[in-house]
């Protein structure tokens, strides 16, 4: 794929890295108005944003020096979009995309402008982040003294549910410029919560919802900052928009409503699995009403085989009776049924059978371990303890992506720009045939240092620097490192060579709080662990990236990803214990898990983990779609 450095004319632009786009998608790519794109799984929503970024950047429709802001719900989704754009655009173009999470975006605003907040709302500049749980809200409410009599009683405070306290009373509405006298007991408690967090004389602690509300307020009262921000971005992308909270929506509205910034929001209501985290009921409706966004559906499914798309549609209708059947653009490649529930007597028999099945499928269809995923609802480590030894007995390594590496999860770490960069430079220094890594590292450095394409002298100097880096690295680290201090020194060396300031300038997420330190520590920890399993650098780096390992993760973590075969382990009441509390969200989770598969979905059941009474609806849906339950072992 050739990556254009220079501008191309809009009429001559064609999709990059894929053959074609369906008409509606092409229309959105070139649109000059606000759009809300609601489409099912595998419809190419993230791909559409990547193509739109390529179009806007390569044709100059997003004119320099303006930038594109892409906001996602989760860190790995933000990294996923950025990496798709990097694959499709020349680094100089890709560098004009800021892809980040809502939380990072809101925090950057509070960090830049927070000291201009009205005094009553101003946090200490050195505030710390905390993640309150429902239990902590309950404890807080329980710790309050009796409110003034004209406001209410202690019994009224104790009657406030933690969830309502968070959703309605703390964050239900944008903050007033001047705090208003509370009218009832719940409002009084909310006011006390804010005051305690902001006015503490020692440490000041803010949660991300608080930061979101403060960011919205500071931009509402500070016209200059708001205008500057809106002018920075010619285009705004909102990915996984179905999971947007009211706080996030209000922030977007305050900054961008009525400005020239063009908004493109993509998502799928059927995949809304963040309702517990305050997702709005109908964010698309709000965008269409207030911004006048035009709704544009996508009709294809590029991921899953026709048979899987047919089953998906049965599940989709349970979530949305109006769901339109998508058209599969993929061929079936497996025989013997695309979906089944496999019943086992014990988890050990289950693990042995699955391991043997995966290995035989890898052989039959020339697949690697990363073409499979083992999905679980929760407590991944419990499943990993049984599945890992069974897979290992067949020579397949299992990798629990939810496992913690220092203070970061493995999955987060691997999606981090810094991790990719460090590993890229080590690969360059330690590979015999380093051609691909050479040009990638050269482009990275040139972009970070802001070289122009024609500045030949700088490129020559860069090549020399890279050569010296490689020689030194090979001398210092001829073999994989065997302790943490060597791994930390190695990581610091690569960061020092690339240039810390350049990294901070290019990746805004690393300017936030202690994220850079957490990621740097995690890289070193994971390098050390990977080196312990390898005798040469190539193997160590493959272990680091999990090139030959079969991933195990929770449904939540699988959002946005895709695999040849999805094996969902544990379709039982035990894993879905909260099914009856929010049946819609649980069914949406089930739908997300199912729709990650390109060719095959297997569910497993084992009576020792729970019955299938409470989740009978899920089994009925599968039955309705013609999926059989088979006694396997």
Ligand X SMILES: Nc1ncnc2c1ncn2[C@@H]1O[C@H](COP(=O)(O)OP(=O)(O)OP(=O)(O)O)[C@@H](O)[C@H]1O
- Report the binding-site residues for ATP: 39-46
In the complex, minimum distance from the CB of residue 237 to ligand X, in angstroms, rounded to a whole number? 12
In the complex, minimum distance from the CB of residue 514 to ligand X, in angstroms, rounded to a whole number? 30
Closest residue by Cα to residue 121 from 192, 199, 208:
199
In three-state secondary structure terms, 454 is coil
Residue with the shortest CB distance to ligand X = 44
Report the residue from 38, 43, 375, 421 that binds ligand X according to the rule CB under 6 A: 43
Other C-beta atoms closer than 10 Å to the C-beta of 201 total 6
Other C-beta atoms closer than 10 Å to the C-beta of 20 total 10
Binding residues among 580-609 for ligand X as defined by CB under 6 A: 595
Closest residue by Cα to residue 326 from 295, 301, 303, 302:
301
Residues with Cβ within 8 Å of residue 74, at least 6 apart in sequence = 101, 240, 559
Output 244 or 447, the one with its CB closest to ligand X: 244
Following DSSP, what letter does each residue of 320-360 receive, concatenated? Answer: -TTPPPPEE-S-----S-SEEEEE-SSHHHHHHHHHHHHHH
- Cα dihedral across residues 209, 211, 214, 216: positive or negative: negative
Q: Does 188 bind ligand X (CB under 6 A)?
A: no
Piece of the chain touching ligand X by CB under 6 A; list 18-26, 206-214, 215-223, 459-467: 18-26
Output 299 or 356, the one with its CB closest to ligand X: 299
In the complex, minimum distance from the CB of residue 367 to ligand X, in angstroms, rounded to a whole number? 16
Q: Does 21 bind ligand X (CB under 6 A)?
A: yes
Per rule CB under 6 A, count of chain residues that contact ligand X: 18
Report the residue from 47, 103, 166, 416 that binds ligand X according to the rule CB under 6 A: 47
Q: For the window 287-316, what string marks contact with ligand X as x by the rule CB under 6 A? A: ---------------xx-------------
Piece of the chain touching ligand X by CB under 6 A; list 35-43, 91-99, 228-236, 388-396: 35-43
Report the residue from 18, 120, 162, 489 that binds ligand X according to the rule CB under 6 A: 18
- Residues within the annotated binding site? 39-46
Output 40 or 546, the one with its CB closest to ligand X: 40
In the complex, minimum distance from the CB of residue 591 to ligand X, in angstroms, rounded to a whole number? 10
Q: Does 562 bind ligand X (CB under 6 A)?
A: yes
In the complex, minimum distance from the CB of residue 264 to ligand X, in angstroms, rounded to a whole number? 13
Output 19 or 119, the one with its CB closest to ligand X: 19
Asked if residue 80 lies in contact with residue 414, where contact means CB atoms within 8 angstroms, the answer is: no
Other C-beta atoms closer than 10 Å to the C-beta of 197 total 18
What are the phi and psi torsion angles at 536 (to 5°)?
A: -135, 165
* Strands 262-267 vs 404-405: parallel, antiparallel or unpaired: unpaired
Closest residue by Cα to residue 249 from 62, 43, 105:
105
Which of the 8 DSSP states describes residue 607? G
* Strands 372-376 vs 563-569: parallel, antiparallel or unpaired: parallel
Report the residue from 268, 401, 412, 416 that binds ligand X according to the rule CB under 6 A: 268
Where on the chain is the footprint of ligand X (CB under 6 A)? 18-19, 21, 39, 41-47, 268, 271, 302-303, 560, 562, 595
């Amino acid at each position: 794929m050739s990556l254009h450095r220079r501008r191309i004319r809009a009429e001559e632009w064609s999709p990059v890295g894929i053959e074609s786009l369906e008409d509606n998608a092409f229309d959105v790519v070139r649109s000059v108005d606000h759009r809300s794109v609601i489409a099912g799984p595998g419809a190419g929503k993230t791909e559409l944003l990547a193509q739109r970024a390529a179009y806007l950047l390569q044709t100059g429709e997003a004119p320099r020096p303006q930038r594109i802001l892409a906001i996602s719900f989760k860190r790995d989704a933000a990294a996923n979009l950025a990496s798709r754009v990097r694959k499709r655009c020349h680094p100089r173009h890709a560098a004009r995309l800021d892809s980040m999470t809502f939380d990072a975006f809101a925090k950057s605003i509070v960090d830049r402008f927070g000291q201009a907040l009205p005094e009553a709302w101003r946090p200490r500049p050195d505030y710390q982040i905390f993640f309150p749980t429902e239990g902590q809200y309950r404890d807080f409410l329980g710790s309050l003294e009796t409110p003034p009599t004209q406001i209410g009683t202690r019994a009224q405070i104790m009657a406030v549910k933690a969830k309502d306290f968070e959703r309605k009373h703390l964050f239900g509405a944008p903050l007033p410029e001047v705090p208003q006298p509370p009218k009832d007991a719940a409002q009084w408690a909310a006011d006390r919560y804010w005051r305690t967090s902001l006015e503490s004389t020692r440490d000041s602690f803010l949660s991300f919802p608080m930061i979101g509300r403060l960011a919205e307020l500071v931009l509402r009262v500070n016209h200059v900052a708001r205008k500057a921000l809106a002018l920075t971005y010619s285009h705004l992308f909102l990915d996984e928009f179905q999971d947007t909270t009211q706080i996030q929506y209000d922030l977007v509205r305050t900054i961008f409503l009525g400005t020239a910034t063009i908004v493109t929001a993509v998502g799928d209501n059927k995949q809304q699995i963040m309702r517990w985290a305050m997702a709005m009921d109908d964010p698309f409706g709000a965008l269409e009403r207030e911004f006048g966004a035009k709704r544009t559906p996508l009709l294809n499914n590029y991921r899953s085989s026709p048979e899987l798309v047919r089953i998906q549609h049965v599940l989709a209708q349970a979530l949305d009776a109006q769901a339109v059947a998508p058209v599969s653009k993929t061929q079936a490649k497996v025989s013997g049924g695309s979906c089944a529930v496999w019943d086992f007597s014990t988890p050990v028999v289950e693990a042995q059978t699955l391991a043997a099945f995966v290995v035989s499928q890898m052989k039959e269809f020339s697949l690697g371990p990363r073409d499979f995923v083992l999905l679980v609802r929760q407590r991944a480590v419990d499943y990993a303890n049984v599945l890992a030894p069974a897979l290992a007995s067949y020579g397949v390594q299992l990798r629990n992506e939810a496992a913690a590496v220092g203070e970061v999860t493995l999955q987060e770490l691997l999606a981090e720009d810094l991790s990719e960069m460090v590993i890229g430079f080590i690969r360059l220094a330690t590979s015999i045939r380093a051609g691909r890594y050479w040009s990638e590292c050269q482009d990275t450095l040139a972009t970070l240092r802001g070289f122009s394409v024609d500045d030949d002298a700088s490129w020559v100097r860069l090549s020399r620097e890279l050569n010296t880096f490689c020689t030194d690295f090979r001398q210092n680290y001829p073999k994989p490192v065997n302790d943490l201090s060597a791994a930390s020194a190695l990581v610091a060396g690569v960061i020092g060579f690339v240039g810390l300031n350049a990294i901070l300038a290019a990746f805004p997420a690393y300017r936030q709080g202690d994220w850079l330190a957490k990621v740097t520590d995690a890289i070193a920890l994971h390098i050390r662990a990977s080196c312990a399993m390898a005798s040469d650098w190539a193997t160590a780096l493959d272990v680091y990236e999990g090139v030959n390992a079969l991933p195990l993760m929770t449904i939540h973590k699988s959002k946005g990803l895709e695999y040849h075969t999805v094996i969902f382990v544990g379709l039982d009441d035990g894993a879905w214990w909260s099914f009856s509390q929010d049946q819609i969200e649980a069914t949406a989770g089930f739908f997300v898990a199912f729709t990650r598969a390109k060719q095959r979905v297997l569910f497993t059941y084992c009576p020792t983990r729970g019955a299938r009474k409470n989740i009978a609806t899920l089994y009925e849906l599968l039955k309705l779609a013609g999926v059989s339950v088979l006694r396997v072992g």
